[in-house]
Structure 1
Amino acid sequence: MSIDSVNTGQLLADEDDLAEADANAEVQVCGRNVEIPDHYRVYVAEKLARLERFDRSIYRFDVELEHERNRRQRKNCQHVEITARGRGPVVRGEACADTFYGAFEAAVHKLENRLRRTKDRRKVHYGDKRPVSLHEATAVTQLIDAAAAFTQDQNGVQEMSLDDHEPGRVVRTKEHPAKPMTVDDALYEMELVGHDFFLFQDQETDRPCVVYRRHAYDYGLIRLA
């Protein structure tokens, strides 16, 4: 082994040791009808400690294991879901494999990519290139709704009471600017806000599409023909 390779390996080992030493997030591992050995908990804690460098506000990782009893799903019978909780919205990563180790590695990979993109988006930009934060967008929406309600009240237009409400009617309409994005980015945005679906403009087809969460721990995509 060359000196350069030895030094590189030593540096990587030192970085991992520092990441584990600085780890302060709590790791909770639970299973649905699954017994979790102590060595697996240690393995999970060591892996997740390295992800805290992307977001120092993370205070807890929730890891949930579940075994799929369907014999037809033997290759993907082990499911792992990881939820990172910090000051911002929760970020999740989940995957299925034939072993809990393989499913955990795949879920960590997804979670790491999403945390990395979140960190990149939080970087400071200047001028018009600065992205609008979720807090700012929510504040603007609240101001618009308040202004609309005030205008309606000033014009003598009264809101319908609950007694006058007729079911089956569209009572609210929202319009959002559509920025073309990939399916992966749409899934990321859906996971970031914690919704079960997300409407977006597909960058590939330039058509409106919807991604949604399925019950079998995977996702679906609806495209207009």
Structure 2
Amino acid sequence: MRMIISGRHLEVTPGIRAHAEKKIGKIKKYFDQIAEVYITLSAQHVKTGKVHTADVLVYVNGSKIKAKVEDIDLYAAIDEVVDVLEKQLTKHKEKLRDNNHATGLKKFDYNVETGSITREKTSRIIPTRIMAKPMEVGEAILQMETMGKKFYIFMNAETEELNVVYKRRDGDYSHVEAGWE
């Protein structure tokens, strides 16, 4: 885990750096795959005095987890931001675990001859019925955009066959027609 500590309107002394590294280093036990941690410590003058902010950005498994805490005392802000991060990392880990359990529906198969048990992932096919009304290609693109979809299946009014329109990555639209040769 790489830790980058910077200060905004605040000099990061060796004591502050050591405290931040020690406290924020504890989040490793909540999640193994933490790549980088960016810690920004700042001070701001307000009417009531100085307010210190501990802003932490954690890169985990391709995701970003962010926590920000303000307090009068900088050390207290660092301690509080660690508590917030612990909760967020635990929640993130549970979410990943729940997603893995949901997608990994497994089927056990017992072979009588060999006496072995094998595990296979099962995938389900969920049938979907669409009611495609006849329309022009331009109208289908308009329907797709207004519904906020990535593609739209429609009955082409000219050919009376099912067609698909979709938005390409470069921003243009593409039209797919069924063809027989």
User: Given the alignment, which residue of 88, 100, 105 partners 2:74?
Assistant: 100
User: Given the alignment, which residue of 80, 90, 97 partners 1:123?
Assistant: 97
Deviation at 1:70, TM superposition (A): 1.7
Which residue in the other structure is 1:114 paired with? 88
2:54 maps to 1:80: yes
**Aligned ranges for residues 31-42 of structure 1 at < 5 Å?**
31-42=7-18
Equivalent-residue separation in structure 2 for 1:174 and 1:113 (angstroms): 34
Which residue in the other structure is 1:156 paired with? 136
The two structures have a TM-score, normalised by structure 2, of 0.56
Deviation at 1:174, TM superposition (A): 5.5
Deviation at 1:125, TM superposition (A): 7.0
The change in CA–CA distance for 1:131 and 1:116 in structure 2 (over 3 A counts) is farther
Which residue in the other structure is 1:65 paired with? 41
User: Given the alignment, which residue of 49, 55, 70 partners 2:25?
Assistant: 49
User: What is the RMSD of the two structures over their aligned residues, measured on CA atoms?
Assistant: 3.2
Equivalent-residue separation in structure 2 for 1:126 and 1:62 (angstroms): 28
Equivalent-residue separation in structure 1 for 2:83 and 2:71 (angstroms): 13
Equivalent-residue separation in structure 2 for 1:87 and 1:95 (angstroms): 24
Q: Which runs of 5 or more residues in structure 1 are unaligned?
A: 1-24, 133-147, 161-170, 176-225
Count of aligned pairs between the two proteins: 119
Deviation at 1:155, TM superposition (A): 4.0
Q: Which runs of 5 or more residues in structure 2 are unaligned?
A: 105-129, 150-181
The change in CA–CA distance for 1:117 and 1:156 in structure 2 (over 3 A counts) is same
- Structure with higher strand content: 2
Deviation at 1:131, TM superposition (A): 7.5
Equivalent-residue separation in structure 1 for 2:92 and 2:34 (angstroms): 13
Counterpart AA for 2:27: L
Contact 1:58–1:85, Cα closer than 8 Å, also in 2: yes
Deviation at 1:121, TM superposition (A): 2.0
- Structure with higher helix content: 1
Equivalent-residue separation in structure 2 for 1:46 and 1:79 (angstroms): 18
